[in-house]
Amino acid sequence: MSLEDDERSELMSRQIADRVTESVESSLRRRYSWIGLVTAFVLGGVGYGLITAVVKDANESVLRAQVLLDDSEQKLERIDALADRSREQLGSLEEDMRATQARLEDRAKEIDELLSARRQDVDNLGRTAQQIEELWASVRDLNERLAETGLTSPESTSGAGEMAEDASSWKERIDRLAEENAYVQERIATSRTTVYLQVARLSSEAAEAVTTALSNAGYSVPDPQLVRGVPGQQVRYFHSADRSAAEAVGQAASDALKASGASDAVIDVVDLTDWPQKKPREGTVELWLGR
């Protein structure tokens, strides 16, 4: 190949390369321009609005979080204040409880002292009754021995008049001792009896009259308990040993009701010695009033 042909070939190659380069660059410029326009459109219009909306939502979320945080802090402050007041109230309550406990302990001590004195009185009455019983037995024995000697009347012998008078005097003493012993025994039984008063549809004056009468008689009468209804006016006893006490309580309560002007003063004595459930202790009776 000649030099001229080589130069012509090289020239054609350069021309082809230049046209290809120009075509590629033109195509790339068009594509980049289109991409730039789309990007500018997105960023300038829809994209900016989207970003703005996202930022706005984020700001609103931050504001809501801040509001919730502030509200939580306020609630915590209120809770702290309530806790402080609760601690103060608890402290005051503990002080009141300690004071009440101290008063209850003092009252319990007083009650123990009263019960101890009451038990001592009962024991003294019991010893007195026993001494009277022993003396009474001795007098009865002496009277029987006098009767065996036949010296109990002035007609027995001419010298027995004085001894007969002594025997008569002894008999009077025996009768008097018997009365005193019966009274002492009654007081012992009374002092050992507790009357629980259940009241329904009864005036306060009548209930107070019954309570006062029983207390004055020596019975232990706690404060009456108000109930909705009673099966009837009655005295209930749960042990055979309390029968006589129940009868005496019923009579005393009936007398008190009559004296207070109550229209119904009839009180029945009810035997519950066969009560199937747990019974109160011996020495306890129940008085139901106000049917």
Q: What is the pLDDT of residues 135-183, one digit of tens each?
A: 667 666 766 666 665 544 444 444 445 545 555 565 566 666 666 655 5
Around 168, how many Cα atoms within 13 Å sit in the side-chain half-sphere?
8
The CATH T-level fold of domain 193-289 is Alpha-Beta Plaits (3.30.70)
Are 286 and 236 in contact by the 8 Å Cβ rule? The answer is yes
**Where exactly are the structural domains of the chain?**
121-190, 193-289
Q: Which two tokens stand for residue 13?
A: 């190659």
Mean pLDDT of 74-93: 78
Q: What percent of the chain has pLDDT over 90?
A: 18
Q: Which of 32-41, 126-135, 220-229, 277-286 has the lowest mean pLDDT?
A: 32-41
CB atoms within 10 A of CB 286: 20
Strands (DSSP E) contained in the chain are 194-199, 225-226, 234-237, 268-271, 284-289
